[in-house]
Amino acid sequence: MNYTPNELKNISFGKSLVRGYNELEVDETFDKIIEDYSSLIHENMELKDKLNVLNEGMLHYKRIEESLQSTLLIAQQTAEEIKRNAYSKAENIYKEAELKAQKLLEGANEQVIRIRYEYEETRKKLQVYKSKAEAMLQSQMEMLKHSVELEDEIS
C-alpha cells in the first residue's frame, strides 16, 4: 500500500510501557520520511510532465519524418515521371528526325531520277539533232558537190 504524505503524518503508534520508542525521534524520522516522500512525489510528477513533453515532441518529429518520407516519395515519383517524359520526348524527336531524313532522302532520290530522266531525254534530243544536222550537212555537201560538178561541166 502506498502512503500519501498526509497519511504518513497522521500515523500514530500505540505506546507500550516497556521498551517504547522515543516519541521525538520517531516524529523527526517521520518528518524526514514525509519530506523525502513529498520530494519524490514532486520529482515523479515533474518527470512524468517531462516525459509527456518529450513524447509530444517525439510525436511531432515522427509526423515531420512521415511528412518528409511522403515528400521524398512524391519527389522520387515526380523525378521518375520527368525522366520517362524526357525519354519519351527524346524518342519522339529521334523518330521525327528519322522521318524527316527519310523524306529528304526520298526527295533527293526522286530529284536524281528526274534529273537522269531529263538527261536521257536531252541526250536523245541531242542524238536526234546531231543526226538531223549530219543529214542536213550531208545533203548540203551533196548539193554543193553536185553544184561544183555542174559548174565544172559548164566551164
Enumerate the domain spans of the chain.
Answer: 5-11+19-154
Amino acid at site 80: E
pLDDT value of position 150: 81
Q: Which residues contact 134 (CB under 8 A, 6 or more apart)?
A: none
What integer pLDDT is reported at residue 18 of this predicted model? 66
| Per-residue model confidence (pLDDT) at position 99 | 97
The C-alpha atoms of residue 83 and residue 91 are separated, in whole angstroms, by 12
**Most distant CA atoms of the chain, gap in Å:** 200
Give the chain's residues under pLDDT 70.
Answer: 1, 13-19
CB 34 within 8 A of CB 8: yes
Task: Look up residue 17 and give its three cell numbers.
Answer: 510501557
Question: Please, which residues have CB within 8 angstroms of residue 11's CB and are 6 or more apart in sequence?
Answer: 3, 30
Q: In Å, what is the CA distance from 107 to each residue of 95, 101, 111?
A: 18, 10, 6
Q: What is the pLDDT of residues 112-155, one digit of tens each?
A: 999 999 999 999 999 999 999 999 999 999 988 888 888 878 87
What pLDDT score was predicted for residue 63?
97
Query: By the 8 A CB rule, do 43 and 36 touch?
Result: no
Helix, strand, coil share (%) of the chain residues, nearest 5 = 90, 0, 10
What's the pTM? 0.47
